[in-house]
C-alpha cells in the first residue's frame, strides 16, 4: 500500500465502518469513496452520496452499477445533508474537498459551504461516529478553504469531538491533508 492521504482515509474507514452502518459521502466525485462505504456498510447499511456536478453524479452511479452496489446518489450541496438525515443517526461522514479530478478546474468546493457541511456532518454523527476529510488545496482553489476548515475544526468542543489533522512534512507542493474526527460516545 502506498502511503498517501487517500490510502490513510480508506484504512480509517475500514477500521470504523461496520456492516449495517449509515454513511454519507458528502462529496461523491467519481464515486470511489461511495463504493467503499457501500461495501463496508453491506446490504444492511445505507449510503447517501452528494455532489453538485451532474458529471460526478453520473460517474458515481456508473461505478455503483458496475460494482452492483446501491446508494442514494443526490444532486445537491453537501451543505444540505441535514435535509436527508436526522441528527445523531449517521455512523460516518466522508469529505474530499477540492475539485473533481479530470473535471472543470473552475468548479471546486468552497470554504463557506464546506465549513457549513462539516458542521452539519458533526450534528448528524451519532455518538461514536467518525468523519474523514481529504483536504486538497492549492492550485485553482488556493488555500482559503484549507485555512477556513482548519480554523473551524479548532472550534469543535473537545469534550464531544477529537480532531486529528495530519500534514505531510516532506512532500512537495501542496499535498492533501488527511483529517480524522471522532464523536465521543
Cell of 11: 484504512
Cell of 128: 461514536
pTM for this prediction: 0.95
Q: Please list the pLDDT of the chain residue by residue as tens digits (185 residues).
A: 578 999 999 999 999 999 999 999 999 999 999 999 999 999 999 999 999 999 999 999 999 999 999 999 999 999 999 999 999 999 999 999 887 677 777 777 888 999 999 999 999 999 999 999 999 888 777 788 899 999 999 999 999 999 999 998 888 888 899 999 999 98
CA 130 to chain centre: 10
Query: What is the per-residue pLDDT for 24?
Result: 98
Q: Is 22 helix (H, G, I), strand (E, B) or coil?
A: strand
Amino acid at each position: 500500500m502506498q502511503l498517501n492521504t487517500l490510502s490513510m482515509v480508506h484504512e480509517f474507514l475500514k477500521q470504523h465502518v461496520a456492516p449495517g452502518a449509515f454513511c454519507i459521502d458528502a462529496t461523491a466525485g467519481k464515486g470511489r469513496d461511495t463504493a467503499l462505504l457501500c461495501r463496508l456498510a453491506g446490504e444492511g447499511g445505507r449510503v447517501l452520496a452528494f455532489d453538485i456536478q451532474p458529471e460526478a453524479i453520473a460517474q458515481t452511479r456508473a461505478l455503483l452499477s458496475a460494482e452492483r452496489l446501491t446508494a442514494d446518489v443526490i444532486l445537491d450541496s453537501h451543505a444540505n445533508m441535514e435535509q436527508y438525515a436526522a441528527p445523531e443517526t449517521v455512523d460516518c461522514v466522508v469529505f474530499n474537498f477540492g475539485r473533481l479530478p479530470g473535471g472543470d478546474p473552475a468548479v471546486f468546493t468552497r470554504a463557506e459551504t464546506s465549513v457549513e457541511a462539516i458542521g452539519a456532518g458533526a450534528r448528524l454523527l451519532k455518538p461514536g461516529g467518525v468523519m474523514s476529510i481529504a483536504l486538497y488545496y492549492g492550485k485553482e482553489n488556493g488555500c482559503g478553504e484549507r485555512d477556513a476548515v482548519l480554523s473551524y475544526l479548532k472550534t469543535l468542543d473537545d469534550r464531544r469531538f477529537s480532531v486529528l489533522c495530519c500534514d505531510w512534512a516532506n512532500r512537495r507542493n501542496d499535498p492533501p491533508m488527511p483529517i480524522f474526527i471522532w464523536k465521543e460516545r
